[in-house]
Amino acid sequence: MALIRKSKQFKWRRKHLLGLRELSVEEITYILDTAKGFEQISTRSVKKAPPLRGKVVVNLFFEDSTRTRNSFALAASRLSADIIEFTQKASSVSKGETLLDTARNLEAMGIDIVVIRHNAGGAPKFLSRNINACVVNAGDGFCEHPTQGLLDVYTIRKIKGTLEGLKIAIVGDIAHSRVARSDMWAMTKLGAEVIFVGPPTLMPTQLSRLPVSVSYSLDEVIEKVDVINMLRIQFERLGGNPFPSIREYSHYFGLTVERMKRAKPDILVMHPGPINRGLEMESEVADGERSVILEQVTNGLAVRMAVLFLVNQAAAQGD
Amino acid sequence: MNSELLIKNGHVIDPANGIDKKCDVLIVDEKIAAVGEIEKSAQKVIDAAGKLVTPGLIDIHVHFREPGDEEEETIASGSAAAVAAGFTSVVCMPNTNPPIENETDVEYVHRKARQARKTHVYVMGAITKQRAGVELAEMGFMAEAGAVGFTDDGNGVQDPSVMLRALKYVAMFDVVTAQHCQDDSFAGNGVMNAGYYSTILGLPGADTLAEEAMLWRDVQLVKKTNVRYHAQHISTAGSVELIRAAKKDSLPITCEVTPHHLLLTEECCAEYDTNYKVNPPLRSAKDIEALKQAIAEGLVDALVSDHAPHLQSEKELEFLAAPFGIASLECALGLYVKVLLEPGILNWPALIRLMTEKPAKIIGVDKGTLGVGRQGDVTIIDPDAEYKIDVKKFRSKSRNCPYHGWTVKGRVEKTIVGGEIRFSAGD
C-alpha cells in the first residue's frame, strides 16, 4: 500500500491491540509511522480509502464515550469498513447475557474487528482469548487505553520531533486512570521521563516498581517539564473522599494561568478530554496557545485508522 | 459377628501417640482395636507394604455449596471428592444459600452427609443471621445440633461490638469461633492483592491491611474474653506476626493456611485467568516465605483446602465479575507434599499432624488419631507415587483448579471411614 512507509525488515504481526505495556519500541514506532501515512486522507476532498472494504467493525462499548467511539467509527468508515454500534443499554447485557456470549453472537454475524470499551480491566484480553475476530482495546477499567496513549505520543512526536529526553508530567487521578498507564508505557518506551503528579490518595500501589517518578507538588514540577498532561477528575470512579474538596484539589493540582507563567515557553499542554473547565485546568489554559488538546483529537483519528488497518492486515496474513 | 479389618505391614504414622514405624492396625466394629505387630488374621486384610498408614485426614475448611448452589457442588459430590483425596472428615462452611444459621440447617447438612455415606461431614454455623454481621444467629441451638464452630466465612464480622458479643456468647458452648479476617473498608471492591500487579492490570486491589486489621482487632477481643478463636486462611506476613505474638501471649488462638497461599503469588493473575481469583487474594513471595516460616516454627495449626467449587460458566467472565474460589480438595495432599514435605519444611509425621490431630482439636472432635477405641478412620498413602492432577477426573462437580496438569507426589490408596473402605485407588 503506497500510503505506508515501510520500515526495513519489520512486520506487524498482532491481530489484537490490547495494551501498550506488551508492545516493543519498534511496534509503537511502526504504528506511529503508519498513522502518519493515514493523516493526509482526512485532508483530501474524498476522505476515504479502501483497505477495510467488506470488513465489519463493531463498536462494543459498555461505558459512556463520545470522542473515542466517534473517532473509531470515523476511522473505520474512512477505511471503508461497515460499522455496528453496540451499547450496553441497547443490548441484551441488561438481560444477563455474559460478555463472552455477546461477543460470540456478534462474531456469528461475521464481525472482523471488535473495538471494546469495558469497565473491567482485562476484558479485551479475555475476549481475544475466546473469539477469532481482532480485538482493539478502547479502554478497559483503569488498565489501559492504548489508542489514547498512541495519539498522545504521536502528537508529542509530531511537534517535538522525538520523545527522547523529554520530561513529561501526568497530573491528577493516576490510580483510576487508564490513560496514565498507557501514556506511561508508550512515553517511557520512547525515551521520555515520566513524572506522576497528584495527591498520594490518588496514586496506585507499589509505584516504585513502575518506570516513573512521583511528585506531590505541581509547583515543583511545572518549571521542569516539556509536556504536561492533565487528567480529568473522574468523579464516576472516585471512591470515598480522596481529597477534601474540589476547591482544595484545584488549588494544589489545577493548571492555572498563574502556574503556566512559570512553565517552559515551549511546553505542550495536553488533556484526554472531556475537560472539567476550572477544575483541573482553567479555560484560558485549555484554549491557550500552548494547548494541543484539539490536535490530539485530530491525530487520534489517524492513529485509530492505523490500528484498525494493522490488526486487520495481521489477521489476514496470520490465518 | 464382629467385622474386622486388618491393615498389615504399613508404615504407621500417628503423631498423637508418637507412632512412626512399620506395624499393623486392626479395626473391629468401626473402632481402632489395636496398633502394633498383630499376629492374628482378620476377615479382611489390606497389605499396606511400602505405604503410609495415617489417621483419616481432616479438612476443616470446605465449601460444598448445598443448599442453594447444587450445580457447583453437593454434599454427595463433595463427600465423594473428599474420600478420594484421603479426607475422612470435612467441615463445611455456612455461606450457602440460604446460609447455615439454625439447627434445622445444621441437621440438613448432616442428613445429606449420612445419605452420601462417604466422609464425615461437619458444619460450622453462621455467627450472624444471613451472615450480615448484625444480629447473632442461634448459635446455641446450632451447637446442640452438632455444629463444630461458627464463622461468617466469605465475610468477616465487621462491627467490633458484634464480634465481641459473639465471642462472649459462644463461651457458653465451648465451640470455636472462626473468622475470615477481612476489614471491608480496607478491602473495598478489591479482586486481587493490592500491589504492583493490581496497578498494572488495572484491577482494584485489596490491601494486606484488610486482613491484618481485623486479625489485630480480634486478638484484642480474645485478650478481653479469653474465648477460643480460629483465624481462617491467613495469607500475609503481617498476619503471621500477629499470630506469633498471640501465641507467645498464650492466647487461645489457632490458625490455618491453604495450598494456594503457599504455592501461588499475585503474579499468577497477570493473564486475568479467573482460576487464580480467590479470597483472601494471592499475595507476594514475601508473604509465602513468612507463611512457610510460620509452619516450620509450629505457629500454624491446620492445613486446609478452602475447596471453593464454581462452574466453568461462572469463571468464564471478566476477572472483575468472576466469583472467588479454587477447587482444590482433590489435590490438597499432593500440593502440601510438594510445598512443605519436598523442600523439608515438614516431615511426614509433622505434615500428618497438621492434617489430623491438630485440626480435630480445633473443632473439638474425638478424631485425628489411631488411639485404641477411636473411630476407625484411616488413610493409606503411597508417599512415592507420582500423579498428574487432572480436573477431568475430579469427583467434584467443579473444575476451577489452577493446578491442572501439575505433577505431585503422595497418592491416596485407600480411605477407610468407620472401618469401612470408602475409597480405593483405581476405583
Q: pLDDT tens-digit profile of B93-106?
A: 999 999 999 999 99
| Least Cα separation, residue A171 to chain B (angstroms) | 17
Measured between CB atoms, does B311 come within 8 Å of chain A? Answer: no
- Specify the pLDDT at position A8: 59
d(CA B66, CA B64): 6
Residue A177 has pLDDT above 90, yes or no: yes
- Specify the pLDDT at position A318: 72
Which residues from chain B sit within 8 angstroms of residue A125, using beta carbons?
A: 271-272
> B213 is written with which cell numbers?
486489621
Beta strands in A158-287, from DSSP E residues, in sequence order? 167-171, 193-197, 213-215, 227-230, 268-270
- Specify the pLDDT at position A319: 55
A to B CB pairs, distance under 8 Å? 69
Do the beta carbons of residue A237 and residue A204 sit within 8 Å? no
Tell me the domain boundaries of chain A: 16-145+298-316, 146-293
Q: Does the distance separating the beta carbons of B203 and A122 come in below 8 Å?
A: yes
Residue B427 has pLDDT above 80, yes or no: no
Q: Does the distance separating the beta carbons of B203 and A143 come in below 8 Å?
A: yes
Q: Does the distance separating the beta carbons of B271 and A98 come in below 8 Å?
A: no
**One fold for both A16-145+298-316 and A146-293?**
yes
Mean pLDDT, rounded, for A219-237:
92
Summary mean pLDDT of chain A: 92
Q: With b meaning 16 or more CB within 10 Å and e meaning fewer, what string describes B39-67?
A: eeebeeebebeebbbbbbbbbbbbbbbbb
Task: For the domain made up of A146-293, give the CATH fold.
Answer: Rossmann fold (3.40.50)
Mean pLDDT, rounded, for A72-97:
81
| Least Cα separation, residue A144 to chain B (angstroms) | 7
- In A92-226, alpha helices (H): 99-108, 123-130, 146-160, 178-189, 218-222
Q: Does the distance separating the beta carbons of B319 and A126 come in below 8 Å?
A: yes
> B245 is written with which cell numbers?
505474638
Mean pLDDT, rounded, for A12-16:
96
* pLDDT, tens digit, 9 for 90 and up, residues B330-378: 999 999 999 999 999 999 999 999 999 999 999 999 999 999 999 999 9
d(CA A268, CA A152): 11
Q: How far, in Å, are A35, A113, A209 from residue A76 at the CA level? A: 13, 10, 37
- Specify the pLDDT at position A90: 44
d(CA A70, CA A83): 11
Q: Does the distance separating the beta carbons of A122 and B316 come in below 8 Å?
A: no
A123-130 helix and A99-108 helix, angle to the nearest 10 degrees: 50
B47 is catalytic: no
Q: Does the distance separating the beta carbons of B196 and A125 come in below 8 Å?
A: no
Taking a contact as any Cβ pair under 8 Å apart, which residues of chain B between 34 and 53 contact chain A? none
- Specify the pLDDT at position A7: 52
Percent of chain B with pLDDT over 90: 97
Q: Does the distance separating the beta carbons of B196 and A122 come in below 8 Å?
A: no
Which residues from chain B sit within 8 angstroms of residue A144, using beta carbons?
A: 202
Residue B188 has pLDDT above 60, yes or no: yes
Mean pLDDT, rounded, for A147-161:
98
Which residue segments constitute the domains of chain B, with CATH numbers given?
4-53+375-424 (2.30.40.10), 57-363 (3.20.20.140)
* pLDDT, tens digit, 9 for 90 and up, residues A94-153: 557 888 898 889 889 999 999 999 999 999 999 999 999 999 999 999 999 999 999 999
Do the beta carbons of residue B250 and residue B277 sit within 8 Å? no
Percent of chain A with pLDDT over 70: 94
B170 closest CA partner among B230, B105, B210: B230
- Specify the pLDDT at position A94: 52
Nearest to A99 among B194, B205, B318 (CB): B318
> B324 is written with which cell numbers?
472467588
| Least Cα separation, residue A198 to chain B (angstroms) | 16
- Specify the pLDDT at position B295: 98
Do the beta carbons of residue A272 and residue A297 sit within 8 Å? no
- Specify the pLDDT at position A173: 93
A71 closest CA partner among A115, A121, A18: A115
Q: Does the distance separating the beta carbons of B202 and A141 come in below 8 Å?
A: yes
pTM equals 0.93
For residue B158, what are the contacts with CB-CB under 8 A and spacing of at least 6?
B133, B183, B184, B185
Tally Cβ neighbours within 10 Å of residue B136.
Answer: 17
Instruction: Name which CATH class applies to A16-145+298-316.
Output: alpha beta
More confident residue, B122 or A11: B122
Residue reference for cell 457447583? B72
Least CA distance to B200: which residue of chain A? A143
Which residues from chain B sit within 8 angstroms of residue A23, using beta carbons?
A: none
Residue B394 has pLDDT above 60, yes or no: yes
What are the residues of chain A with a beta carbon less than 8 Å away from any beta carbon of chain B? 21, 98-100, 118-123, 125-126, 130, 140-144, 178, 181, 204-207, 209-210, 239
- Specify the pLDDT at position A87: 80
